Amino acid sequence: MRKLNSSLAALAGLSLLGAMSGAAVAEETDETMASATVKGTVFFTGVASDGVLTIDEDAWRTNDIGVWLRVDADDDRLDGTGSARYNSSKYPFPLELQAGTFEITNDDGRWVGTGTAFVEPTMGISRDTVILRGEGAYEGLSAYLLTDWAGSSGDFIGAIFPGEMPTVPTPDDM
């Protein structure tokens, strides 16, 4: 038993040294890869497509709506211009759900990803959840954004982080 405890103590010591050297390496790495919270505003700058409206017994559906946008963030990595394309389903007034793709580009790279939105005007709710993956200088990073469209622009909060979102457990994992 004493041998096992010594081995565990040595392993713990090595792990601590590894973590400390990892921290030193992390301090020396490019700030581009650092995790951070972020906030900012998304502005619509134009309409690329009004989409195609279809009406069925359940909802008014508009597919392939396209908009141009500009993003001003307190983290320069998310500043840029881009576009969003989405589909919308409006159910008996006033519920609307949206799903779409997003792209934001700046001189250093690009962010691409997907988002969903919930809109209910009588309650003053118009919110997006967007998950982006970095390209170019942002390769290896992800961004998670929560946007509130209560005004004429969308104020967001979120995070930029290395890697990807956690995987979703399957019902079998429960």
Q: What is the pLDDT of residue 152?
A: 78
113 and 147 inside one domain = yes
On whether residue 52 sits in a domain, the answer given is yes
**Do 59 and 92 lie in a common domain?**
yes
Q: What is the pLDDT of residue 111?
A: 98
Same domain for 8 and 49, yes or no, is no
Identify the pLDDT of residue 173: 67
Q: Does 51 map to a domain? A: yes
In a domain, 170, yes or no: no
Q: Which residues of the chain have pLDDT under 70?
A: 1-29, 173-174
26 and 92, same domain (yes or no): no
**How far is the C-alpha of 89 from the C-alpha of 87, rounded, in Å?**
7
- 6 and 52 housed in the same domain: no
Give yes or no: residues 99 and 156 share one domain: yes
Same domain, 59 and 120: yes
Give the range of the structural domain holding residue 47, as residue numbers without chain letter: 34-164
Q: How many residues does the chain have?
A: 174
Residues 67 and 1 grouped into a single domain: no
Instruction: Give a yes or no: residue 172 inside a domain.
Output: no
Q: Is 90 found in the same domain as 155?
A: yes
- Measured CA distances, 133 to 63, 118, 154 (Å): 24, 22, 20
User: Is the pTM for the entire model greater than 0.85?
Assistant: no
The answer to the question of residue 131 being in a domain is: yes
List strand residue ranges (DSSP E) for 107-153, in order: 109-120, 125-136, 141-148
pLDDT of residue 32: 80
The torsion angles phi and psi of 21, rounded to 5 degrees, stand at -70, -35
In this predicted structure, what is the pLDDT of residue 29? 52
Q: How far is CA 101 from CA 29, 56, 128, 143, 148, in A?
A: 31, 24, 12, 14, 17
Q: What is the pLDDT of residue 1?
A: 43
Classify residue 174: in a domain, yes or no: no
Structure tokens at 139: 């390769």
Is 46 within 8 Å of 64 (Cβ atoms)? no
